[in-house]
Structure 1
C-alpha cells in the first residue's frame, strides 16, 4: 500500500505491517515512531533506516540479483521518458526473474523446517504439525540468527512455514 499520510493519521506509522507512505512535512514526533522505519527523503536523495540485521547468505543473493538489477537500471534510464506504471517486456521479464530469485531465497531459509517440526496424528487421523521456532532459529549460524529471529515473526514466514507444514501433514 502506498499513500500520502495526513498529519492527523501519523499513528499508522506504528502499524505492524509493511507499507509505503509519504508525508509532506517531517513532524517533530516522527523520531518517536522511527524504530522500524526506512525513511526516504526525495528532496535530499537520502535514505535512513533502522538497524536491520544482515540477511543470511546475502552475498550470494546480491550476486544472483546483480544482473537482473543491471538490466532494470538500463531499462529504467530508457523508461525515464515513459510513465512509471508502464513497463516493457524486458522490465516485466526482469521483474519476474527478480521475484523468482527472491522466492527461492526465502524458501531456502525454510528448507530445514522438517527437522524442527513435531507432527502428531489426531484421533480422527488428521495430522497436525507444530514448528519449534527456537530450535529452528538455533539451527542457523549465530551470525544469521538476528535476522531469523525477526523473520520468524513476520506474516511472510507464517505463510511459508504453514505451506511447508501442511505439506508435511498431507504426506502419508
Structure 2
C-alpha cells in the first residue's frame, strides 16, 4: 500500500485516442497548475494540460479542496478503439502536507514516549497521525468517485466528426 493516497484505473473505450483527446479538449481549460490564474470560463469541467496521448487534469472547483485528485492519463490506440491508463493522486502540495504532519506527529510521539516519558501525549500524537491519515484517504477516495463519474461521462460522448 502506498503511503500517499493514489488509485489507478484502466478504461477501454470504443473511441479512438484522437476522439478521446478531442472530447477531453472540449471540456478542459489549458492551465499550468503552478500558475496563479483566477479567470473562470464557463463550460469547462477540467483544468489541466492535454498532449498528444497524455493528459494531466483535475476538476474545476469553486473553492479550495485539498483532496481533489490530479488525474494523469495515457492513451493507447487499439484496433477497436483505445485503452486509457489513469492514475489518480493528490496534488504535490497536499501530499507534502500530509507527509509533513504525519512525520511531525510521529516524531512528537517518539519524543514524548521515549525522552519525555509522557505516554499519554505520545498516544495522542499517534492517534492524531492515524486520524489525519485516515481522513485524507477517506476524502480522497470520495473525491475520486466524483472525478471518475464526470470522466466516464466524457468517454461516453458521441464520436466527433
Common fold: TM-score over 0.5: no
Higher normalized helix content (fraction of residues): 1
More strand by share: 2
Q: Which has the higher contact order (CA 8 A, sep 6+)?
A: 2
TM-score by length of 1: 0.28
